[in-house]
Amino acid sequence: MSAGKLPSGISCPDIWLGPGVTQATMVLSADADAARQIGQLELVAYPGATSDTDMSADKVAVQTATMIRSGRPNGSGRLTEEMPFAVAGDAAIRISANGHEPRQHHLYGELAVRHAPGGVIDVAVEVERLESGPASDVHLTAVGLPTLIANQRALIPAGQRKGYISFYLPHTLPVGRYSFAIQAEAAVPVTGEKEKTRQVRVLSGAVTFEVHPQRFQLDLALDAPRKIKRGEIAQVKYTLRRVNGYISKVHTELASPGRVTDVGRLRGRGVTSVGQSASGTIQIIANDDAALGSIPFLRLYAVGVLEDEALYHGSCFLPLEIVE
């Protein structure tokens, strides 16, 4: 689905409704120097399109509608002839989201992201605060996720400009293209009033990703540890099942968003599975000075290797807490 005839300074990235998806979030945004204006949004859909450049599919105009709220639990909806939008005021905070940030692997170098069922999509979120005053925490979540993907929450602490939020792609997710957006909530200063803040909620542009056929399924063993003490070594067992005719080796490591093997407070010793080996054990060491608590979106991360090139990816979250 795409928007056409947009004025200068207005953007609305295309989105995809994947197999079985009946609704998604489309984000309209204005540049910092966009003129204040009232405009009209025209949307078109391409049912059956297979790529961004595939315009052979029939083009269908999107019927717009609106909800009428009357104080009752459920509003009423009606169709409309137009979808107006307005550019007014200045945003106090902006975010950008990238679901395709390359992963640095100590064995295979920089890896392009290739998503598949049984994997994790990491979304790197950058925050731009536009108003002066003390910065606050930024709370992240997703909007418009396919129903098969569980939503998550993440936090970018005050004073930091970048963070991650990650989502597990279940084994049952059909192959196809999907879109969603990241929502951020934060307290920002009230202009002209000291020590007063107001809550704002903003959206990123659309995050679109393609799901490829799965090559292997990585799962935690039922007896995998859930806690580890400082200075302790834990043995984390997992199972690995190759699917769809894949028979090559798989290398598994400890990882978190943006990091592999050494995730800050924990270090993992990777395992390479060859032949038809269906299980493995990763040794994890907690630093003596490791901060207590859990590492957000910690996981076992595996890459499938074909002719010495790491092409396929799979993950499973590891809910491991560092304790005294």
Give me the tens of pLDDT residue by residue for the chain, a chain 324 residues long: 999 889 999 999 999 999 999 989 999 999 988 999 999 999 999 887 877 766 566 888 898 888 887 777 777 888 998 889 999 888 889 999 999 999 999 999 999 989 999 999 999 999 998 766 667 899 999 999 999 999 999 999 998 999 999 999 999 999 999 999 999 999 988 877 777 888 999 999 999 999 999 999 999 999 999 999 999 999 999 999 999 999 999 999 999 999 998 898 899 999 999 877 789 999 999 999 999 999 999 999 999 998 889 999 999 999 999 998
Residue with tokens 């806690």: 227
Phi, then psi, of 24 in degrees rounded to 5: -150, 170
Q: Which amino acid is at 279?
A: S
User: Can you list the pairs that 24-30 forms with residues at least 24 positions away whose Cβ atoms lie under 8 Å?
Assistant: 24/144, 24/178, 24/179, 24/180, 25/143, 25/144, 25/179, 25/180, 25/181, 25/203, 25/206, 26/1, 26/206, 27/181, 27/203, 27/204, 27/205, 27/206, 28/3, 28/85, 29/205, 30/87
CA distances from 53 to 3, 50, 81, 116 (A): 15, 8, 29, 22
- Alpha-carbon span 158 to 192, nearest angstrom: 21
CA-CA distance, 318 to 315, in Å (whole number)? 9
Domains 93-211 and 216-323 share a fold: yes
Specify the pLDDT at position 69: 77
Does the reported pTM lie above 0.75?
Answer: yes
How far apart CA 310 and CA 306 sit, in angstroms, is 6
Domain boundaries, the chain: 2-87, 93-211, 216-323
Instruction: Output the CATH code of domain 216-323.
Output: 2.60.40.10
Q: How many C-beta atoms surround the C-beta of residue 16 within 10 A?
A: 19
The rounded distance, in Å, linking the Cα atoms of 164 and 159 is: 15
Distance, in Å, from the CA atom of 2 to the CA atom of 14, rounded to the nearest integer, reads 5
Q: pLDDT at position 95, please?
A: 95
CATH architecture of 93-211: Sandwich (2.60)
